Structure 1
Amino acid sequence: MLQRSDSLAPQRVRYQGLKDASTLRRDVRYGQMDHVHVRAGSVISVTTVDGGCDVWLTSRPRDARDFGVTAFDGPIGTGDALPATGFDTRALRAMAQSRDTTLDQARGLRIFGPDAPAGETHIGKITQDADLICILPAQGGFIETGAGGRVVLTIQPPAGNGHDLTLPDPLGHVVDEWRVSRGTARAYTLKKGQFVQIIDVEGQQCSDFMAMRADALDQGVERYIDSTVSRTMARGAYPTPGLHDKFFDQDMVPLLALRQDTVGRHDTFALACTARGYEERGFPGHINCSDNISGAFAPYGIGTRRAWPAINFFFNSWIDWQNHHIAADEAWSRPGDHVTMQALTDLVCVSTACPDDVDPINGWNPTDVHVRIYDETSRIQHAVAWRANPEDAAQMTARSAFHPRISKLTSSFQVARQLWMPTQYDATGAIAEYWACKTAATLQDMSGLRKFDIIGPDAEELLQICLTRNAAKLSQHRGFYALICDARGSVLDDGTLFRLEDTAFRWCCGSDNSGLHLREQAAAHGLNVRVLSYGDKIQNLALQGPKSRDILRKIVFTQPSRPALDNLKWFGFTIARLHDRDGPMFMLCRTGFTGELGYEIFCDSADAVTIWDALMEAGAPDGLVPMGSHALEMLRIEAGLMISGAEFGPEADAFESGLGFAVDLKKPHFIGRTALERNTTAPRRTLVGLHMVGNEVPVHGDGIFVGREQVGTVTSACHSPALGHAICMARVAVENAATGTNLEVGKLDGHMKRLGATLVDLPFLDPKREKARA
């Protein structure tokens, strides 16, 4: 029954034709470099996404010591000396050291400059096996004048080598590796501390995995990954769109720890496919993973089973909440996607390449799986994949530039876009951090914010089209909060716009969709403007609390041509330096997300640790403590500040999201204005606050009731330490939105349990925002 793709008609068009993918794609961002091994005969193309930045290519041929341009086809000559600054050169220097050479004589090809438009492409051919290196150095002064950029590097391998490119670069020292052919399984051993990496070679291919504890097998007892124990210990639902952090056996002994996952969607925990499952559907004798697992395990004395439980890597399943059935569709995995786990004890494992060709789970076309084993000395960073947009190459979650300091203070992190961000700190905890922000000062890593520079003669015109407020009224060194809406008036993104110069603006926001939307509108209207992204080159901190200005006075230096710290009003900014005129430069803004007096600092990632240290040292006498996201959530809800996915999104317009204050209907035109103006005459819902009776905190999506009828939905909720009870932001029908109205939040089925609440105005505290304006 196992068939090749040429004998199977495709059931439908798959996204980007994953099974046919034969090119490698990499995104390289401003101030970064990336490298990849390429084979002779490969065709490379480099395309500017934003335009407006330098782009360099260099190579290190496998048979040469030095970096240069000899691996490129064409009359390139000797090339130019590589830039020595503007990007993290550590990886490049490590590569040079491994070849017992230096970068002093390294040459490269500058294929694009600051004048290159978006969409420009350079195409070349590789003449010999080499490490190809792409560099986007940052220019000096970009904090002050604006900059940014991104390119897409694609590599088309020579004929016959397509599969080689889909394998990711090794994560550490490879002990062994092999290919599991489609429709087969292979058993193997893992020593404690070793890592196993399961790689989907061509994309959309399920791979079942099982592990047995070796010491138990030596005693004649089978102890293996147990679904009930694992999900109970991890407090995870079944099936989960992802993986547990650890997997346990029946004795609650941890067997494996997840280290990396580039997909984020797997089945944990169902059965591997069985002969019976195929027979009952009319496919007797079909190859199945359970029989394959039994056969692979047999040499280790493991008993045969008709049905094996398994972690079903890359299997896309979910629960239909209407009928509670398990549903499945084609996998989310793409060529080269992988999962990496570390053995916490000696194990006997098995991996399959699922043979299912009668369901969508393998894209209707079973393919191979690749397995790599790394030794215990490999330093494999804990990470998951993140894509700002579906067409982007995957980025593994990284650490912010402040991580060297933060990691010494806490081990509590969660993913915020592409970065690991602290949730709270060991010495304080969320409640103490909350009170520190209200009585002293806190310092928070906010580097997950997106930063875009909009530069060019038509920059203001583009912003007038896309933003809900009037950019023409914005002076240099000033900013305002604004929205980007679609034609229906729904909020696509919110953020703060700063005017750097007459034709240069900086948009600090929550989503990469802002950049896409701005570029699309610039192209649609034929505007001469660039929308430049920074990636992680600009990092930022939030210094918040009543002592924040006093702390900054100790370390901030500003030139006479720039606004002084004490003259900054709410939403004003200046370009400052640390301590004196020669210190690191940063952008200092009178903004924040806590409702307290506060500032935000935007700096070069290379200066991040220096600025963190200076702030912590200066703030120590004033009680400054670092703060995590848990405390921020309480502060922002008390302050009535809205976030995407909670208060605003595609299901509500700007006014229904409580963001009408950021909409200027006096402005003649902007995207969404017509819909918003229409909706103001007959609004149906509005955002309000709820004072809960007691301390039980509702969750996002809980219904709000009057008697049997649901009249609203909870958007955000927390326990307020200042008020001493739970509070909510909620969207309710205008007919039930009078201040003082008694409502109920429904739990369980919405009727079996009710939590009393009283409707109040937002924000919950400091209604005139006097503290932030102080």
Structure 2
Amino acid sequence: MREPGLPLFQPGVERHWVCGAGAVILHLFRCDRVSVTDREGRQACEIAVFTPDGQEDLAALGLDPARESAGINRLLSGADRESRAIAAELRRRNLPARVGRAGLLFAKESAPGETVELVVARECIAIFHAAGGPMAVDAQDAPTDLSVVVHRATATPLIEPPLPEPLADFRHELRVAKCTAQAYEVKAGEYIQVIDVAGRQCSDFVCVDARLLEKGVERGFDMTATRTMTGLLYPGPGLYSKFFSTDLQPLVEVVQDTVGRHDSFGLACTARFYEDQGYPGHPSCSENFNGTLKPYGIQPKRGWPCINFFYNTGLSSQNAIFLEDPWSRPGDYVLLRAMTDLICASSACPDDIDATNAWNPTDIHVRIYPATSDFQRAIAFRMSADSEPRLTRETAFHPRTSALTRNFAEYRGFWLPTRYNNHGAVDEYWAAREAAIVLDLSALRKFEVLGPEAETLLQLACTRNVKRLADLQCVYTALCYETGGMLDDAIVFRLGGDKFRLVCGDEYTGQWLREQAAKRGLRAWVKSSTDQLHNLSVQGPKSRDILKEIVWTAPANPKLEEIGWFHFTIGRIGGYDGAPVIASRTGYTGELGYELFCHPKDALKVWDAVWEAGQPHGLKPLGLEALDMLRIEAGLVFGGYEFNDQVDPFEAGIGFTVAVKGNEAFIGRDAVLRRKEHPQRLLVGLELEGNETAAHGNCVHVGRAQVGVVTSGCRSPILKKNIALCRMDVAYAAIGTEVEVGKLDGQQKRIPATVVRFPFYDPEKIRPRS
């Protein structure tokens, strides 16, 4: 059985993750063994070592003082959150704030997964740093992750995993022992962190408005009110993730969540629940709450309305509630902010008769932080089930976009604007069609693919003929599994002979590429560079006029106005000494457009230059809602909608990306061609009658039989029609075929629709080619 969410905490074994350009500080003892692994390859590890009293001691790890510690010192002098945290940790340990000499692991061409083992000669404190500075836009030396595994010489049996480090200085903390509950008071604006200590342990949370309670009025959570106000079944962080009372007043809001799966369907477990299961006298969360809240004069309840943190409930196809093992892992937490003064209580659920707590109740830990704390809204993003979590981060353009809107959505680990104040989706849409827009697409994943066999790797991975790519040219491609189903779509840039950059949607694509290279023994490296390259999309008929004013290129490189469709140039903003950028003639709107890639440190300079140059041309910002209308009209596909691992490129409507004769080696080729010869479904366009839009997942029928499913739909402002993309049975894919889009249960309500040519807008792609 594979349960990646619960790593084995073997006595004396610790695993630490060092993010690219980040560091970790470890206290080591004599005869400990340390394994350092270069996860992606070509990543130097800089190590500084101190005695407990602060003297440098590289010999304790058998390291030579190979170089001055430029990387660690650059990290310590930074102003970002990571730098401040490392500097604070050094101060806490009374260690110097600057390092003299450092040891260095891994050669310039270290292989992905290469490991170096060190033996500790004496007690010391070591800093492990994934060294690397800001990456130039045309370079490929992005700092990437390391992992450090410590095997302790003296293994102390772990009764439970260690708690995560505090998020800040906390005011108070308490431990809720398994099968119990504890009450506590919180003032308005303070933060409550509920931590699942050992993983897979449900914790019910209740609170009562303390100010109203003083007046004799008891107001706690009302989940019907909460779901009505938020329009969501499951809680999640964001601007609207609040929990309300029956008075429709918010009591708490979610600020951070590392799990993403909780419940507010039902009550805290009750004595009646256990009695009906044959366990009279079994402790329950509701009874525990009654006991711990009694001193506050709060009336007892047979069943407490609550937030069931870390509780995994779902709805079956028959609308029945069911439960499974929780998703939470050791150290996972939810961070709340009190919207008013509260009397709170947290439980460590006593349920040991089913999978609620994985059959084994454990402890819950609570920390309370002062209202002056500064916490960013975030949820945890994981590339795969067993990957390290990363909290949602802001793009480098966030200081500018957040000044124009508070409407953001989480997208693959980043906050991106959905719409802008004083504009809205339709206004932003028309700006893209008639003038120009600027769009933050920094959440796209970027990977540097380099090495003598980089071209061979991409020829295997991509359905296009990558060998035909010239320098400063890029191409849109699909990537497939052996089954023919799509892993991702991407644009491949050729920076030079053996130097490529792949821009795609899914972070797992980089891991998959490394796996393919390792399986075939290819000398190719795939290095993650998303954090080193953020990008703006400037789209619309006036985009060229705007950018040619501000993008300077060296004489050897094409000018911006000279680059053709799916080509790019390397330049700078404003002039010879401006911020470096790569400008590509690519986009996701169906209009003439460009994308500007820059390092995050230069992002605001790039935004400001584009914004200023664009104002005379009617430039406006554009969010994800308007982008969806634009790309549907243009017939541009989106992962998880038009394609997934069950859908091949021809079914996804991008069969043109398959080089049938030019690439005889791509992964999944035989399956893709077999499916092409015997198609079952095709992507088609639909025009719907009336004013009701089709939505992703709506069934499509001829008579009673379902013949297709809507993948995306919208109201087209320029066509003044409701349109949709649909994966249709080939028997009904001909233009002019009449079908019906099902609503409700698919039978009671039908919207007549007709199969039409797509792309709906500019089907010959004249505008982006212009």
Taking structure 1 as reference, are residues 694 and 87 closer, same or farther at Cα in structure 2, changes over 3 Å only? farther
Taking structure 1 as reference, are residues 472 and 46 closer, same or farther at Cα in structure 2, changes over 3 Å only? same
CA–CA distance in 2 between the matches of 1:591 and 1:771?
12
CA–CA distance in 2 between the matches of 1:25 and 1:695?
56
Matched, 1:48 2:38: yes
- Selected match of 1:365 from 360, 377, 392: 360
CA–CA distance in 1 between the matches of 2:125 and 2:191?
28
Other structure's SS at 2:243 match: strand
Other structure's SS at 1:143 match: coil
Please identify, of 51-60 and 602-611, the stretch whose mean Cα deviation from structure 2 is larger: 51-60
Partner of residue 391, structure 2:
396
Q: State the one-letter code of the partner of 2:182.
A: R
- Judge conservation of contact 2:476–2:491 (CA < 8 Å) in 1: yes
- Selected match of 1:122 from 116, 122, 135: 116
Taking structure 1 as reference, are residues 748 and 189 closer, same or farther at Cα in structure 2, changes over 3 Å only? same
After superposition, give the CA deviation of every residue in 1:348-394 in whole Å (9 maximum; x if it has no partner).
11111112222122122211111000001000111111011222111
Other structure's SS at 1:619 match: helix
CA–CA distance in 1 between the matches of 2:52 and 2:377?
30
Identity rate, percent = 43
User: How much has 1:644 moved relative to structure 2?
Assistant: 0.8
Matched, 1:80 2:80: no
- Judge conservation of contact 1:87–1:136 (CA < 8 Å) in 2: no
After superposition, give the CA deviation of every residue in 1:217-254 in whole Å (9 maximum; x if it has no partner).
222332111111111111123x6688971011121121
Matched, 1:137 2:171: no
User: How much has 1:102 moved relative to structure 2?
Assistant: 8.2
Partner of residue 609, structure 2:
614
User: How much has 1:563 moved relative to structure 2?
Assistant: 2.2
Alignment of 1:343-492 (within 5 A): 343-492=338-487
- Selected match of 1:750 from 731, 740, 746: 746
User: How much has 1:173 moved relative to structure 2?
Assistant: 2.4
- Judge conservation of contact 1:86–1:137 (CA < 8 Å) in 2: no
CA–CA distance in 2 between the matches of 1:589 and 1:86?
32
Q: State the one-letter code of the partner of 2:525.
A: R
- Judge conservation of contact 2:9–2:158 (CA < 8 Å) in 1: no
The two structures have a TM-score, normalised by structure 2, of 0.93
- Judge conservation of contact 1:242–1:268 (CA < 8 Å) in 2: no
After superposition, give the CA deviation of every residue in 1:618-647 in whole Å (9 maximum; x if it has no partner).
111111111111111000000000011111
CA–CA distance in 1 between the matches of 2:28 and 2:297?
43
Taking structure 1 as reference, are residues 135 and 253 closer, same or farther at Cα in structure 2, changes over 3 Å only? same
User: How much has 1:106 moved relative to structure 2?
Assistant: 5.0
Taking structure 1 as reference, are residues 78 and 62 closer, same or farther at Cα in structure 2, changes over 3 Å only? farther
Q: State the one-letter code of the partner of 1:488.
A: T
Partner of residue 772, structure 1:
768
User: How much has 1:597 moved relative to structure 2?
Assistant: 0.3
- Judge conservation of contact 2:237–2:255 (CA < 8 Å) in 1: no
Taking structure 1 as reference, are residues 308 and 24 closer, same or farther at Cα in structure 2, changes over 3 Å only? farther
Matched, 1:90 2:79: yes
- Judge conservation of contact 1:44–1:154 (CA < 8 Å) in 2: yes
Matched, 1:152 2:147: yes
Alignment of 1:701-720 (within 5 A): 701-720=697-716
Moved over 6 A (4+): 59-62, 240-244
Partner of residue 173, structure 1:
169
Partner of residue 283, structure 2:
287
Alignment of 1:568-579 (within 5 A): 568-579=563-574
CA–CA distance in 2 between the matches of 1:60 and 1:326?
56
- Judge conservation of contact 1:79–1:108 (CA < 8 Å) in 2: yes
Other structure's SS at 1:342 match: strand
- Judge conservation of contact 1:401–1:605 (CA < 8 Å) in 2: yes
The two structures have a TM-score, normalised by structure 1, of 0.92
Matched, 1:112 2:106: yes
- Judge conservation of contact 2:134–2:599 (CA < 8 Å) in 1: no
CA–CA distance in 1 between the matches of 2:156 and 2:218?
43
CA–CA distance in 1 between the matches of 2:189 and 2:223?
22
Taking structure 1 as reference, are residues 689 and 602 closer, same or farther at Cα in structure 2, changes over 3 Å only? same
CA–CA distance in 2 between the matches of 1:759 and 1:13?
44
Taking structure 1 as reference, are residues 61 and 628 closer, same or farther at Cα in structure 2, changes over 3 Å only? farther
Partner of residue 225, structure 2:
229
- Selected match of 2:759 from 741, 760, 763: 763
CA–CA distance in 2 between the matches of 1:404 and 1:128?
44
Matched, 1:723 2:723: no
Matched, 1:692 2:688: yes
- Selected match of 2:253 from 247, 253, 257: 257
After superposition, give the CA deviation of every residue in 1:475-520 in whole Å (9 maximum; x if it has no partner).
1111111111112211110010111111111111011221122111
Partner of residue 593, structure 2:
598
CA–CA distance in 1 between the matches of 2:431 and 2:351?
57
Alignment of 1:529-548 (within 5 A): 529-548=524-543
Partner of residue 624, structure 1:
619
Structure 1: gaps (5+ residues): 1-11
Partner of residue 4, structure 1:
none
Partner of residue 556, structure 2:
561
CA–CA distance in 2 between the matches of 1:89 and 1:163?
38
- Judge conservation of contact 1:61–1:71 (CA < 8 Å) in 2: no
Other structure's SS at 1:462 match: helix
Partner of residue 5, structure 1:
none
Taking structure 1 as reference, are residues 725 and 163 closer, same or farther at Cα in structure 2, changes over 3 Å only? farther
Q: State the one-letter code of the partner of 1:705.
A: H
- Judge conservation of contact 2:48–2:99 (CA < 8 Å) in 1: no
Other structure's SS at 2:146 match: strand
Partner of residue 676, structure 1:
672
Please identify, of 667-676 and 452-461, the stretch whose mean Cα deviation from structure 2 is larger: 667-676
CA–CA distance in 1 between the matches of 2:331 and 2:363?
11
- Selected match of 1:645 from 640, 645, 663: 640
CA–CA distance in 1 between the matches of 2:57 and 2:403?
42
Partner of residue 653, structure 2:
658
Structure 2: gaps (5+ residues): none
* Corresponding residue pairs, total: 758
Taking structure 1 as reference, are residues 148 and 13 closer, same or farther at Cα in structure 2, changes over 3 Å only? closer
User: How much has 1:424 moved relative to structure 2?
Assistant: 1.1
- Judge conservation of contact 1:143–1:603 (CA < 8 Å) in 2: no
User: How much has 1:165 moved relative to structure 2?
Assistant: 6.3
- Judge conservation of contact 1:593–1:641 (CA < 8 Å) in 2: yes
- Judge conservation of contact 1:541–1:602 (CA < 8 Å) in 2: yes
Please identify, of 32-41 and 421-430, the stretch whose mean Cα deviation from structure 2 is larger: 32-41
CA–CA distance in 2 between the matches of 1:392 and 1:219?
49
- Judge conservation of contact 1:640–1:764 (CA < 8 Å) in 2: yes
After superposition, give the CA deviation of every residue in 1:693-733 in whole Å (9 maximum; x if it has no partner).
12211111111111222111100001111011211000111
After superposition, give the CA deviation of every residue in 1:189-222 in whole Å (9 maximum; x if it has no partner).
0011111000011111111110011122222332
Partner of residue 313, structure 1:
309
After superposition, give the CA deviation of every residue in 1:557-587 in whole Å (9 maximum; x if it has no partner).
1112222222211100111112222222111
Q: State the one-letter code of the partner of 1:81.
A: S
- Judge conservation of contact 2:38–2:115 (CA < 8 Å) in 1: yes
Partner of residue 57, structure 1:
47
Partner of residue 327, structure 1:
322
- Judge conservation of contact 2:237–2:377 (CA < 8 Å) in 1: no
Matched, 1:510 2:499: no
After superposition, give the CA deviation of every residue in 1:4-26 in whole Å (9 maximum; x if it has no partner).
xxxxxxxx664354474776655
Please identify, of 501-510 and 554-563, the stretch whose mean Cα deviation from structure 2 is larger: 554-563
Other structure's SS at 1:269 match: coil
Taking structure 1 as reference, are residues 242 and 549 closer, same or farther at Cα in structure 2, changes over 3 Å only? closer
